[in-house]
Structure 1
């Protein structure tokens, strides 16, 4: 019970104070938290590069401070332990194999056959069954900036999910509109790495969305390089150069979104990166990359004095805490059973 006394004392300070004044507009912000929804829509060994793409982005946003509790990761999860994998329990995104992006701290929220169009749309719109675990929910609000990253196989106006179904550009745009109507986001950075990727954002009509695609309509999105030891392509070109940029970003970085939009010119990507910014209200030259790829701890400064007076009986309360405080010590991990051994 003693551990609750300091907390009760603080509450008492606040409730008893009559002179505690908070300046007007203190701690008010339109952007209060960041989330990431990272989806690999394909499966099977020859699509190794797609899971490497999404795990690489996952690693980057975690490094920049977004916690696992605010990241939704959807992957088939069939690469690390695939019988064809010469390096079991690993996924690499570079021929040098110096970073295992699968690691030992990857938290997969939707895996295998859970990666469906229905689950993806329900996740975005918040229409999940009541018994859905918290880790499978996108608990965003009107102050949330959301990074949505998709990779897989697509075509003109559709993206395939595990070679069994597809989501259309109209389905996706309607889901985002539901999010806006339900106040589930503040701004969205939509990034998609697939063939004819820009066709997926052509029908967007909701505000505050910045969309980036690895290829325009009629173009393929190409892979970067093969790892001869693994025997497959291990990363796509757009994501490779996006990661090269993100690796140079720190939580305190001043790099802007306008720089991120230029990470893969055509002579690198061999496809034309598409950008749609007419729905986005801010100038990308003023928006930090960390507004979407990093964590957010809103702090507002004030020149005014915030008075938090102490309770009248503070000295008595502290004295009582000191009198009742007991020294704690660790007990032995295993009991002494020597007296019971004959």
Structure 2
């Protein structure tokens, strides 16, 4: 072992690197299979929703109903309240003009109370500002802000951003006092991408000239849709004579109506959702922008953004009995030998006309060949790394 003392240090360094590589490469495939993207799937591990009603005052009742309708939908499809940021610029449920205190309805029949008892509003009233919205997206919030008011996303988060209110060409009004522009949102999304705060974003907006609000986006993995083209208004759907105002906007109404037919396990794609748009019923021309989105719309599920569905990958199981497995292993290792699962005498085989000079082992298939080669290669890497590590440990012990 005296020669170990004269072994160049750079050779030892290379051996250590080789050992680390063989150990790492044997583990990277399972990790990639669990966290990576496969077959065009999203690859996300968590879902978030940011729902914004930017209008206040009683006559904007419908905008709050829009946001609350989306809130109910994403909760029903599995996104928990801890992953939903709800911003309501006003509280019409407690408005003195509300004939049905503590309730918000989106249809004149009033069969479903959108407000209910389990609602969690994170930003309300004068907390709903452009500054707070931008800080929420970018994560640049004051340390005193509680976790319930933070967007705690990462690079594996799919985020659904919904906005509603009064707007125009590349702007949306907040509180009838300030505006957020298409450039502001585009830059906020770029900051999120640079800081690894999202995997994919689905942006939906219901306002006048809504399609102009995503015209300035330039960050990757963003899918966007809006309720109306430039120069076009978005209209309300229906009025409630008892409430006295319009109760929901047309575009959001038909989106929510479509979503009622979807559950957590639905395989409905985003293309199916967009194909359901009917400009005649909506009374405007909704738009879609998908050039920044990396996946085909046919392969992107609605539940990738509206739901909180856990993803699992199922691998096929090869079922073989013990005898078949024994014959297969022997066939690979000793191709010229015959394996018998039962202690039958050679004379019995001769009586049955079986040629003992030929192998009765099952034929190898390409799938089994690949499987065995993969197993052997992993074993080689494992034992190589163990040998190198043992060599290095022995050398360190010797020189000391």
TM-score w.r.t. the length of structure 2 is 0.69
Indicate which of 203, 208, 215 corresponds to 1:195: 208
Is 1:225 the equivalent of 2:232? no
1:104 aligns with 2:111: no
Bigger radius of gyration among the two: 2
Corresponding residue number in structure 1 for 2:137: 124
* Structure-2 residue corresponding to 1:280: 293
Give the whole-Å Cα distance in 2 for the aligned partners of 1:138 and 1:226.
35
Selected match of 1:235 from 233, 244, 248: 248
SS at match of 1:192: strand
Contact preservation (8 Å) 1:159, 1:168: yes
Q: Residues 237 and 26 (structure 1 numbering): CA distance in 2 closer, same or farther, change over 3 Å?
A: same
1:76 corresponds to 2:83:
no
- Find the aligned partners of 1:149 and 1:246 in 2 and give their Cα distance: 15
- Report the equivalent of 1:216: 229
Residues 225-304 of structure 1 aligned to structure 2 (within 5 Å): 225-302=238-315
For the Cα contact (< 8 Å) 1:26–1:302, is it kept in 2?
no
Q: CA deviation at 1:263?
A: 3.0
Q: Match of 1:152?
A: 165
Q: CA deviation at 1:24?
A: 5.6
1:304 CA drift (Å): 8.3
* 1:115 and 2:128 correspond: yes
Whether the 8 Å CA contact 2:107–2:240 is kept in 1: the answer is: yes
Q: Flag the 1:133–1:176 CA change in 2: closer, same or farther, 3 A.
A: same
Q: Note if 1:170 corresponds to 2:183.
A: yes
Match of 1:179 in 2: 192
- Structure 2 counterpart SS, 1:190: strand
Q: For 2:229 and 2:163, how far apart are their aligned partners in 1?
A: 15
Distance 1:263 1:131, change over 3 A: same
Q: C-alpha deviations, 1:127-154, integer Å up to 9, x for none?
A: 0011110000000000010000000000
| 1:274 to partner: Cα distance | 0.9
- Does the 8 Å contact 1:158/1:166 carry over to 2? yes
Q: CA–CA distance in 2 between the matches of 1:24 and 1:282?
A: 22
Structure 1: where are the runs of 5+ without partners?
1-19, 306-342
1:42 aligns with 2:55: yes
Match of 1:139 among 152, 168, 178: 152
RMSD: 1.7
SS in 1 for 2:154: coil
Are the counterparts in 1 of residues 55 and 90 from structure 2 also a CA contact under 8 Å?
A: no
Which residue matches 1:94? 107
Gaps of 5+ in 2: 1-26, 37-42, 319-400
- SS of the residue corresponding to residue 56 of structure 1 reads helix
Larger relative contact order (CA 8 Å, sep ≥ 6): 1
Alpha-carbon distance change, 181 to 195 in structure 1, aligned in 2, over 3 angstroms = same
Native 8 Å contact 2:264 2:309 kept in 1: no
TM-score (norm 1): 0.81
- CA shift at 1:88, angstroms? 0.3
**Which stretch has the larger CA shift, 292-301 or 34-43?**
292-301
- The CA distance in 2 between the partners of 1:167 and 1:50, in whole Å, is 17
Question: How much has 1:302 moved relative to structure 2?
Answer: 4.2
SS in 1 for 2:93: coil
Shift of 1:76: 2.2
The answer on whether the counterparts of 1:23 and 1:304 sit within 8 Å (CA) in structure 2 is no
Residue of structure 2 equivalent to 1:27: 34
Decide whether the 8 Å contact of 2:57 with 2:90 is kept in 1: no
